[in-house]
Structure formats: structure tokens, C-alpha cells
Amino acid sequence: MSDEIYSRIMYGSEHFSISSLPGMKERTIILDGFSKTYAMTGWRAGYGVMNKDLAAMVAKLMTNSNSCTNSFVQQACVEALQGSQSEVDKMVAEFQKRRDFIVDGLNQIKGFSCKKPLGAFYVFPNITKTGMESKKLADYLLSEAGVAALSGTAFGEYGQGYLRLSYANSIENIAKALERIDAAVKKL
């Protein structure tokens, strides 16, 4: 199963799908949707690409579990796919600016070390040198600085020592968050 929801939000590299490997097309289920690329969050429009036999069973499951996506959303999805992709390109370019800004800012905060992600709109800075565990630091930043971060442990045991932050916001708000994080960490 390959979740390819961020396949269009890539920086400096092309998306690679496991389904393109020899013998994998018929053995891969691709899941994708419209929420990230076309900013249709909350519309619950997505799709799967799989072999016909499995698709028939999934169609039965979906019909009985969540009914149907309403008609105006379906029409918007068709327009998104068939229309100009220039807005997607502009959005990705803006996300890249925000990514560079937040990574540079996080790397200036004592105890933080952050690499530039190649896609999506999240950073995953290493925070081990702050001396705090991920969950405790995430909770501290929320209560002390008013900045929401997700503990890396939400992604499994190997996420200890990391936080996840989104940069799907304005540069101005990202700058405020960085200032608040820096001030809060200096109090540790």
C-alpha cells in the first residue's frame, strides 16, 4: 500500500512510486486524494488505484462505510484534475520558501537540528540536545509558547527526540512561532 497524497508537493526531486518497479504495479494499492495538492481539506475526496478484483471489493466496502462524496465535491475534483495546474505549482513554490524559512529558523534555536524535507509541508527537527523528551517538549511549547507541535513518538518509538511542525501557514506566523519557541527553549 502506497500513500501518495504528497506526490505533487515535492522540492527539487520527482515523486517515485513503488508501483513503477518491475512486478509491483499489480501488487500495489495507491492511495491519493485532493486535500493536499488542491487544498480541499475536509472535503473527504480521495481515490485508490488497484487491481480490478480488489477494486470491486473496496467499492462495496466504501459504499457501506461512508456512502458517497457529494456531487459538488466530485465536480470540483474533476475540474482540479482537468484544469490548469499553475496554482499547484505556485503553492508548491510558496511551501518551499516556507520550508527553507522554518528550517533555517529552527537550526538557530539552541538544542534543535533540522534537515530540509524533500516534500510535504512538515519539518521533523531533532530536539535531543534540549534535554527533553518529545512529548514533554511538545506539551511545554503548547503551554509556554502557544505553539502546537506533535511529538515524534506519535509516529512510533523511533520518533523519540523529534517534533513535527507544520509550515502550512504564512511566513509571518512561522516567524512568530520560531520566536516563541526560541524564547521558551531559553527558559529550560
Q: What is the CATH number of the domain that holds 93?
A: 3.90.1150.10
Domain boundary among 36, 53, 82: 82
Domain boundary among 23, 53, 82: 82
Q: Do 101 and 178 fall within a single domain?
A: yes
Q: Which residues pair with 165 in a beta bridge?
A: 123
Instruction: Over range 148-158, report the average pLDDT.
Output: 97
Confidence of residue 183 (pLDDT cuts 50, 70, 90): very high
Give the chain's domain count.
2
Q: Do 102 and 165 fall within a single domain?
A: yes
Supply the range of the domain harboring residue 101.
87-186
Confidence of residue 174 (pLDDT cuts 50, 70, 90): very high
Instruction: Over range 38-44, report the average pLDDT.
Output: 91
Confidence of residue 63 (pLDDT cuts 50, 70, 90): confident
Confidence of residue 62 (pLDDT cuts 50, 70, 90): confident
* Confidence (pLDDT) at 69: 81
Q: Do 61 and 94 fall within a single domain?
A: no
* Confidence (pLDDT) at 68: 74
* Confidence (pLDDT) at 70: 86
Q: Do 138 and 56 fall within a single domain?
A: no
Q: Do 143 and 66 fall within a single domain?
A: no
Confidence of residue 9 (pLDDT cuts 50, 70, 90): very high
Domain boundary among 82, 104, 137: 82
Q: Do 108 and 128 fall within a single domain?
A: yes
Q: Do 109 and 60 fall within a single domain?
A: no
Q: Do 107 and 132 fall within a single domain?
A: yes
